[in-house]
Amino acid sequence: MIRSAAALTLALATSAGAFELGLPIACTLGEDCHIQNHFDRDPGPGMADLACGHLTYNGHDGTDFALDDLAAMQAGVPVLASAPGRVTGVRDGMADIAISDPAAPPLEGRDCGNGVVIDHGNGWQTQYCHLKRGSIAVRSGDQVDTGAQLGLVGLSGNTEFPHVHIAVRKDGVALDPFAPDAATPACGAPIDGQLWATPIAYDPFGFTGAGFATAVPEWQAIKDGLPSPATLPTDTPALVFWATYFGPKQGDTLTLTITGPGGEVFRQDVAIDRTQAVAFRAGGKRTPPGGWPAGDYRGEAVLTRNGAELGRQSATLTLQ
């Protein structure tokens, strides 16, 4: 669901000495979007986000606000100006296609894809990347306010998933909007000192979707926005529950369960064997002879790290 730009405008850039940012995307963090990658705080060949975590990659100079799937991108999610200023650069016309797709054209230095640059005065600048082709709504020289629509989230440039990458610069130097004054990772993910007008909590992990299927789905189908059926026949070939998530870390435990009218019918505890940016897992059972009992079923995924629960996601289904 797309919220209005007015409802999602979080703040205006303030007077001299202070610079504040609103969200660069019309979504609700934790509901229909999430932060996939943070600014890389490691000055060397390694990588570390502001919490010394792995939600970044070497040399990443911005913050990636990601949509949950390609279906959300196709529906159209606005990219918003995070502060008032003058548009100083625009590029449009690049295709929306994952960089790993064999049909993707060469970037030729256009890693940002379709994008917009805004000058906010006093040396502050923001850049918005990977917008949808044909969606750019501003031109160079335009004056924009906080929350003004710049375009739509897309898949252009050097990217594998639909998102807007926002880079923040002061006097030409890229800064982490979560900790602009810190030279090294804070490791505690501080709230104080952020450029975000409404501080954003660091989220090390999150579920981005879940649903039922009659077989283990293909990863591409999930990335496309696989819908979960509301009903299925009791003689469906199998009952499978799947979940997608970002930020899994080696050593985590993912638990998948399915419960029905008679109680628990499936449970699987999965030891996460490698750290990843995004992943999915599915599990279930073949339909027993005579079919499943009619009624309501619930699938649930829970991830724990060092004994603490980091998130859970569920879906429901009626067999009839």
pLDDT tens sequence across 92-147: 999 999 999 999 999 999 999 999 999 999 999 999 999 999 999 999 999 999 99
Instruction: Enter the pTM of the model.
Output: 0.91
Kindly report the CATH number assigned to the domain that includes residue 19.
2.70.70.10
State both tokens at 207.
């579920």
Q: How far, CA to CA in Å, does 118 sit from each of 14, 64, 124, 126?
A: 16, 17, 9, 5
Kindly report the CATH number assigned to the domain that includes residue 297.
2.70.50.60
Alpha carbon 68 to chain centroid distance? 6
C-alpha radius of gyration, the chain, whole number: 21
Q: Which residues fall within 8 angstroms of residue 10, CB to CB, at 6 or more apart? A: 21, 22, 23, 146, 196, 197, 198
Residues 164 and 223 in one domain: no
Range of the domain at 210: 206-319
Confirm if 195 and 134 have CB atoms less than 8 A apart. no
Residues 158 and 228 in one domain: no
User: Do the domain assignments include residue 180?
Assistant: no
Give backbone dihedrals phi and psi of 250, rounded to 5 degrees, phi first. -55, 130
> How high is the pLDDT of residue 16?
33
CB atoms within 10 A of CB 281: 18
Q: Which residues of 45-55 are buried (b: 16+ CB within 10 A; e: fewer)?
A: eebbbbbebbb
Residues 153 and 225 in one domain: no
User: Do the domain assignments include residue 183?
Assistant: no
**Where does the pLDDT of residue 12 fall: very low under 50, low under 70, confident under 90, or very high at 90 and above?**
very low
Residues 99 and 224 in one domain: no
Reported as half-sphere exposure (CB side, CA atoms, 13 A), residue 163 has a value of 23
